[in-house]
Amino acid sequence: MVVKVVVNGVGTIGKRVAHAVKLQNDMKLIGISDVAATSWLRTVLEPEGPLNKTDLYASNQEGMQKLKESNMYIKGLLEDLLASGEVDAVIDCTPAGIEAKNKPLYEKYKLKTIYQGGAKADLVPVSFVAVASYEKALNAQAVRVVSCNTT
C-alpha cells in the first residue's frame, strides 16, 4: 500500500519532510501547501529543487491570494485537495500555534495527521518517540512528533 501524503507548511521543517516523503517507496507526495512565496518555497520548486514538479496548494484563501500575487502557480486550495479523497495523511509543518487552527480541517476529512515539533503536547493524545510510544502511535488517528529531528 502506498500512503498518499500532503505536507502543509514548507519552511525549515516542511521542505525536509516533503523531500523525505518524496523519496519513500511506500509513500507518494500528492502535494505541498503554504501561504506565502518564501525563498524556501521557491527554491525547492525550482527545476533543480528537490520538490520540482510537486503540486502546490494554498493553505487558505488569504494564502491563495498572496501566492497568486507572487506569481506562483497554485493547483488549488488545500481543503479542496483534502475533500477530493486523494489524500491519506497530512503532515502539518506549520509554525507553532497554526497547527491547532488547522486541526479541525484535518478532522473534518478524517485524515491521519502528524504534527511537527512546535505543536503543544495537548493537541493530540499521542506524542511519538520511537523508543517510548511506538505502540500507542501505531494506529492513532493523529500524533505529535516531539522534534523535527525525529521525523
The residues annotated with a catalytic role in the active site are 148
Q: Are 15 and 40 in contact (CB under 8 A)?
A: yes
Which ranges of the chain does DSSP label H, i.e. alpha helix? Answer: 14-23, 39-45, 61-69, 78-83, 98-108, 130-138
Cβ burial of 32 (10 Å; 0-12, 13-18, 19+) is buried
3-state secondary structure of 119: coil
